[in-house]
Chain A
Amino acid sequence: MCVAFPGKILSIEGDHAQVDFAGALAEVNVSLIEAVVGDYVLVHAGMAIQKMEPKEAVDLQELFAEVEGAAEIG
């Protein structure tokens, strides 16, 4: 039930935004975040709950180096 989907804000009017979910448009309440047009947001139950930031999830090289000793990888 805690499913949430990423979408891109196309326009904002007051607390509501038009959000593009891979081509499907929907109105989303954006009152829980500070967002501007063009931002990617994570939407749960009709509300944007977070602005998405393009960050590396983890440093892959570091992770591979860490686990390399534990098992044969690659």
Chain B
Amino acid sequence: MADQGQANISDKLNLSDKKKLAGYLSSYNGRPLRLMEVCGTHTAALYHTGIRQLLSPKIEMLSGPGCPVCVTPTSYIDKLVEYALTPDCKVLSFGDMLRVPGSRMSLAEARAKGAAVSMFYSPEQILTQAAKEPETRFILAAVGFETTAPVWATVVKAIQKQGLTNVKLLTSLKTMPAAMEMLCESGEIDGFLCPGHVAVITGSKYFRHLAHVYHEPMVVGGFTEEQLLLALTQLVHKAERMYAGVWNGYPECVTEEGNKKALALMADVFEPGTAAWRGLGLVNNSGLYLKDEFTSLDAGSGALTEDKVPAGCSCGQVLTGQITSSECPLFGKACTPDKPVGACMVSNEGSCRIAYQQEAAMYGPK
């Protein structure tokens, strides 16, 4: 479509402007900076655009805990597997989740044993399927951050409205601030590239409290080459000078207040609670759970706090920027995309998988 680009003004940067931004980031020679992109989609985009590869050695980008698949605890996967192996029960999940290891097996491995697991692309299509198969119990793997939670809230309302009795949600919904606060408390990160599509829902003001309490620069960024060059240039500039605050580098989609309708719907359906993050443990006030009035739609989400990470797996340290993927002793040896030990090696947005693919592209497979 010819006018597609009109929606993204920052896509219209001319080549000379892009070169200036790339030149600044590659020749940066100020104080060494440890910056974190919180969102897995940013991790993937920074590699695919080549921006990570061009950064000055004085700018280290750490990948944060913002890939919902990567932070799903093993007990959640185990419960999905249990449902999928139950007769007349079908698990529906985003495709990303299928290969995430549980303590015994992944959903993909369960499917190979005959378990009923299907993928979907939009949660709404589930409702049509559920209405057509009233004798089947559908368990929805409701995973995601603030970006996806309103979608699930919409599904919950639709299930209620349509009076479907054969659909339940197993939720593993998480919110960013408490996890980011853990990272801020470590005091080792000089600035954050904030998740753009979380901010679409929450508004850029969502990060203001953390930025001020921990004196951190935070820039909300988009996902195209141009948007990332702009957001990182802003972030490096602010971080070098130790400025604190939130800057919106993605105003085509992000407002200060966010999507109020989506936020109201989320507040109507979900309430905050403690959640287990793979490799990080329990984090207070970092999960979203169905409110009491919707408990009949819950498939046992609250009890899933156990996380049996395999011996030697360092996903927790990778997700908090304490080590890089290649510093994990299992990376590329016991843990590869074909045979992942940790969740970060599974998802297309997992930092280990992305790092592995980049190394393979540069040096050939290990």
Contacts and interface: CB of A to CB of B under 8 A. Distances in A.
Interface in A28-74: 29, 31-33, 40, 42, 44-47, 49-50, 52-58, 60, 63-64, 66-67, 70-74
A32 B124 contact: no
Interface stretch (B208-216, B248-256, B325-333, B356-364): B248-256
A59 B66 CA distance: 28
A40 B5 CA distance: 10
A23 B1 contact: yes
Interface residues of B, number: 66
Contacts of B115: none
Contacts of B68: 1-2
A4 B7 contact: no
A43 B222 CA distance: 14
Contacts of B3: 8
Interface string B9-42: 1100100110110011001111000000001110
A6 B4 contact: yes
Interface string A1-39: 111101010000000000010110000010111000000
A67 B150 contact: no
Contacts of A74: 16, 19-20, 23
B250 A57 contact: yes
A46 B39 contact: no
A52 B6 CA distance: 10
A8 B4 contact: yes
Which of A2, A42, A60 is packed against the most chain B CB atoms within 10 Å? A2
Contacts of A63: 230, 233-234, 237
Contact of B259 (A8, A32, A46): A32
Given A45-B122, A55-B252, A29 B230 contact: no
B265 interface: yes
Contacts of A58: 230, 234, 249
B122 A40 contact: no
B9 A57 contact: yes
Given A63-B234, A67-B237, A50 B253 contact: yes
Given A2-B197, A32-B265, A57-B230, A71 B147 contact: no
B277 interface: no
B222 A1 contact: no
Given A1-B40, A44-B148, 12 more contacts: A1-B69, A1-B145, A2-B145, A3-B197, A42-B253, A46-B125, A55-B9, A57-B222, A60-B17, A67-B233, A70-B30, A73-B24
Interface of A: 1-4, 6, 8, 20, 22-23, 29, 31-33, 40, 42, 44-47, 49-50, 52-58, 60, 63-64, 66-67, 70-74
12 contacts: A1-B145, A2-B41, A3-B41, A22-B4, A46-B123, A50-B201, A53-B251, A55-B252, A57-B9, A57-B251, A63-B230, A67-B237
Interface of B: 1, 3-4, 6-10, 13, 16-17, 19-20, 23-24, 27-30, 39-41, 66-69, 94, 96, 121-125, 143-145, 147-148, 150-151, 154, 195, 197-198, 200-201, 222, 226-227, 230, 233-234, 237, 240, 249-254, 259, 261-262, 265, 347, 349
Which 7 pairs of residues, A with B, have the shortest CB-CB distance?
A: A46-B122, A57-B10, A40-B7, A2-B147, A2-B197, A55-B251, A52-B7
